[in-house]
Amino acid sequence: MADLSQEDWTKQLEEDNNSVVLDVRTQEEVDEGIIPNALHIDIYKGQGFIYELEELDKTKNYYVYCRSGGRSGQACAIMAQLGFNKAYNLVGGFNEWQGEVANQE
């Protein structure tokens, strides 16, 4: 797991063709906007969060964010325990996101 600044996270993501963006916020937060093409799994689902993580491809690189960087840091730690080797936490989270924002369909 690595904590990346907004700039580093975005740059690395743009150059990564094996990436998945993972949003671990609540549905209410996601309703306010989401990074385009992000996969949404609410970390507050508890065991359900872990079940959904276990369905994911562990060979991919995960770019994880929440509102401010705290929950996504926890998510990266959980992912490491589950055998994910590459999970990158967005420091500052969605609050400091300068990139494109989409509305969830």
Type of residue numbered 104: Q
In the residue annotation, 66 being an active-site residue is answered as: yes
CA distance 15 to 78: 25
Q: Quick one: angle between helices 47-54 and 70-81, nearest 10?
A: 60
Of the listed 66, 75, 78, 79, which one is catalytic? 66
Q: For residue 70, give the DSSP letter.
A: H
Report the catalytic residues.
Answer: 66
